[in-house]
Amino acid sequence: MTTSLRTDLTQLQERLDRYWSDRAAAYHGNQMHGRRARVDRELWAGVFAAHLPAPPARVLDCGTGSGYLAFLLADLGHAVVGVDTAEGMLAAARSELDCRRRAAAPLARFVRADAVSPAPGLAAAGVGTGVGFDTVVSRFLLWTLRDPVAAVRSWSGLLAPGGRVVCVDANWFPEGTVGDLEVESAGGPDEFARTYTDETVRTLPLAGSRGPEAFAEVFREAGLRDVQVEEVPRVQELDAELGTAPGHESRPHYVVSGRV
């Protein structure tokens, strides 16, 4: 990788991190307290429970954001470490962690680390991988990664033999982004449109994908075996019944999984 390309990708990631930090409070609030919060929690708890080992398993949640999935899996009995580079999202996760600690609810650990290459950040935080994680998970992360193949390959190196990568995502922008899309954000309602321009979407390999095969191919190229894609039709059923999250359009969702 040339120095100029590395600089461009670093600047891109910093710009994306600023957006997600600005979005953190509204994003977390909707997930925890929005009109779909209870049914969505039941849905994703069932989806991930069906794809993870029996608890307690050691789980790495990449792109943890405000900790939604990390806490959900902790409630299922797993030992979870969540990583992210958006400081605002991590602040929201740690605030929720404090609330859970006071309520004696199951906890997770959060580390600032790059989802594309989490090992250095984990090591710096003193999170030794030991025999490795049993599972690496993500939810709505793959589409926004600058190099999803490198990410999945790096996750594989953190897994114990036979460990799995299990990711949920969707084909968010097959026709490009909607230029006037507005979402609640500390940076203003147009911050998404200013951040995720069509040019940015073209830079992110999975942001404009048109079907599940693009995700499966990333897993295969990263060297995973037994790659499977499973649709989650309940998401669009709930979209029709209850409406989508603010700023979202209804899209087919998939669980993509593979084994080292």
Q: pTM for the whole thing?
A: 0.95
pLDDT recorded at residue 218: 98
**Mutual orientation of helices 3-33 and 87-102 as an angle, nearest 10°?**
30
pLDDT recorded at residue 248: 83
**Mutual orientation of helices 37-51 and 3-33 as an angle, nearest 10°?**
120
Q: Do 168 and 47 meet the contact criterion of CB atoms below 8 Å apart? A: yes
| pLDDT tens for the chain, residues 1 to 260 | 655 556 577 899 999 999 999 999 999 999 999 999 999 999 999 999 999 999 999 999 999 999 999 999 999 999 999 999 999 999 999 999 999 999 999 999 999 999 999 999 999 998 865 669 999 999 999 999 999 999 999 999 999 999 999 999 999 988 877 667 788 999 898 999 899 998 998 899 999 999 999 999 999 999 999 999 999 999 999 999 999 887 788 999 999 999 99
> Measured between alpha carbons, how far is 197 from 167 in angstroms, rounded to an integer?
24
Query: If we measure between CA atoms, which residue out of 154, 84, 139, 93 comes closest to residue 112?
Result: 84
Q: Look at the block and give the residue holding tokens 């959060």.
A: 110
Widest Cα–Cα separation across the chain: 50
Non-local (6+) Cβ contacts of 257 within 8 A are 51, 164, 165, 166, 167, 219, 226, 227, 228, 230
Q: Do 58 and 134 meet the contact criterion of CB atoms below 8 Å apart? A: yes
> Measured between alpha carbons, how far is 74 from 137 in angstroms, rounded to an integer?
13
Other beta carbons less than 10 A from residue 238's beta carbon? 16
Query: If we measure between CA atoms, which residue out of 146, 191, 147 comes closest to residue 18?
Result: 191
> Measured between alpha carbons, how far is 36 from 41 in angstroms, rounded to an integer?
8
